[in-house]
Amino acid sequence: MSKNAMIAQSGGPTAAINATLAGVIRGLRKSEEVGTIYGALHGITGVLDEKFLNLSESCDKDEEFLPALTNSPAMYLGSCRVKMPDPSAERGIYDRIFVTLQKFNVGYFFYIGGNDSMDTITKLAKEARRRNSDIRFIGVPKTIDNDLILTDHTPGYGSAAKYIASSMLEIAHDTYIYDLPCVTIVEIMGRDAGWLTAAAALARNSYNETPQLIYLPEVPFHRSQFLKDVKNVLNVSKNAVVAVSEGIRDEDGVYISAKAKAEDKFGHMQLSGVGKVLETLVKEQIGSKVRSIELSILQRCAGHAASGQDINESLEEGEAAAAYALQGKTGVMPAIRRTSDDPYTYEIVERDLADVANRARSLPREWVNEAGNDVTEDFLRYARPLIQGETELVWENGLPKYLPIGHLNHKIR
């Protein structure tokens, strides 16, 4: 007897998470065993509220649905930020989820997300075993932060890195034009890991040496050393460009950012403003022309500059996840194992979710230079393959043509 499938997305958006969704759908549709494929809106809350899209129908109605989905940024199914309670402490929410999944005859459940989403799916898989449920729970990784362990990198990172590197190159073209000493500080996402900020170094080429300085959360930040570093750059170049992670901290672990706000539900600090803090520091202590730029949410949702490699791998990981479920597996996720840097080769491998959830991977210290103000060639060798290739984006009436998300535009109160 055929079972239905359900897919949800959670956490922050990326340019590639919809490609992963498209991959899961593509994988599931290869099998006769799968009935209807549902999309739950706003992550696990869509399951609780029984808010579903019929994705099988969308595919049947329009053969352009999957290609358009593949190239649309952010999250077609919407997101949530729900921290699932421990099943032993609060059983009620799990009861509701399993009742709903049974009601809709769901045999395969997929959760696409980062660290916190892997925690959710791990708990659900564990709870299914306890309840002797045969529903298979599969995680599918995505995060621009690239901080999941046991995978070479995560879908979404390559596209964000490509956008960051392209923007840094364009900032270089912009900042070289004046014949004046100028410091430009570019603030890049990454609360605890420097992967995104490190990608700024990919903008360097035969004529562009910027960014000359890169500061990451992995290395304690010293204000006085930073000022020395900037002065040293200005001694040899009129144009100093600094890439800095939002999450840099001083020796005591205190965020440099002016606004270390309250912790969110997952215990993360919410940050903003380190660029402005450093801008003020340079203005007051060096006195040169200085400006700060925050790449902001554009770095995670720029579908128009997505990495072809990233989109393809996202599709493949989605398909692998579908295959795992159909093979009867549960509590696992697909990951990428790199087999060569150049030429870049890799294989999709299976990981146990319990080993991945709630752990984070920093940039290895040996990929940061000794002075703690740049990345090494090893990092560049790692990152370069991930930004290769462009997507087959369709433009319409002067703008990228993305899949409509009118179903997310609803009144909430």
Q: Which of 64, 102, 178, 341 binds a second copy (CB under 8 A)?
A: 178
- Alpha-carbon distance of 11 to 366, in angstroms, equals 29
Residue 145 catalytic?
yes
> Mapping DSSP to helix (H, G, I), strand (E, B) and coil, where does residue 187 land?
strand
CB neighbourhood size of 238 (10 A): 14
Structure tokens of 18?
A: 């919809």
Q: Which of 7, 22, 165, 214 binds a second copy (CB under 8 A)?
A: 165
Q: Which of 34, 53, 80, 326 binds a second copy (CB under 8 A)?
A: 80
User: What are the C-alpha distances in Å from 362 to residues 44, 355, 365?
Assistant: 28, 16, 8
343 is a site residue for a second copy (CB under 8 A): no
Give backbone dihedrals phi and psi of 309, rounded to 5 degrees, phi first: -60, -45
Q: Which of 4, 20, 72, 100 binds a second copy (CB under 8 A)?
A: 72
What's the min distance (Å) between Cβ of 328 and a second copy? 32
For a second copy, which is the closer residue by CB, 268 or 304? Answer: 304
| Segment interacting with a second copy (CB under 8 A) among 97-105, 139-147, 172-180, 316-324 | 172-180
- Where in 371-390 is the site for a second copy (CB under 8 A)? 384, 387-390
- Where in 215-244 is the site for a second copy (CB under 8 A)? 236-239
Only one residue has tokens 């959710």, namely 120
Q: Which of 70, 115, 167, 312 binds a second copy (CB under 8 A)?
A: 167
- Where in 85-144 is the site for a second copy (CB under 8 A)? none
What are the DSSP calls for 107-137, one per residue? EEEEEEESHHHHHHHHHHHHHHHHTT---EE
79 is a site residue for a second copy (CB under 8 A): yes
146 is a site residue for a second copy (CB under 8 A): no
User: Binding marks (x or -) toward a second copy, 283..322, rule CB under 8 A?
Assistant: --------x-xx-xxx-xxxxxx-x---------------
Tell me whether strands 34-40 and 3-9 are parallel, antiparallel or unpaired: parallel
| Segment interacting with a second copy (CB under 8 A) among 75-83, 100-108, 213-221, 368-376 | 75-83
| Segment interacting with a second copy (CB under 8 A) among 62-70, 169-177, 217-225, 320-328 | 169-177
Structure tokens of 232?
A: 């040293």
Instruction: List the one residue out of 78, 49, 56 whose CA is nearest residue 3.
Output: 56
Residue of 116, 119, 145, 310 marked active site: 145
265 is a site residue for a second copy (CB under 8 A): no
Rounded-to-5 percentages of helix, strand, coil across the chain? 40, 20, 40
For a second copy, which is the closer residue by CB, 220 or 308? Answer: 308
| Segment interacting with a second copy (CB under 8 A) among 21-29, 131-139, 201-209, 217-225 | 201-209
Q: Which of 26, 42, 136, 361 binds a second copy (CB under 8 A)?
A: 42
Query: Which amino acid type is present at position 272?
Result: S
Q: At a CB cut-off of 8 Å and minimum separation 6, what does 335 contact? A: 141, 148, 150, 151, 152, 317, 348, 349, 350, 351, 356
- Where in 8-27 is the site for a second copy (CB under 8 A)? 13
- Alpha-carbon distance of 408 to 128, in angstroms, equals 30
What are the DSSP calls for 214-254, one per residue? EE-TTS---HHHHHHHHHHHHHH-SEEEEEEETT-B-TTS-
Residue positions annotated with a catalytic role: 145
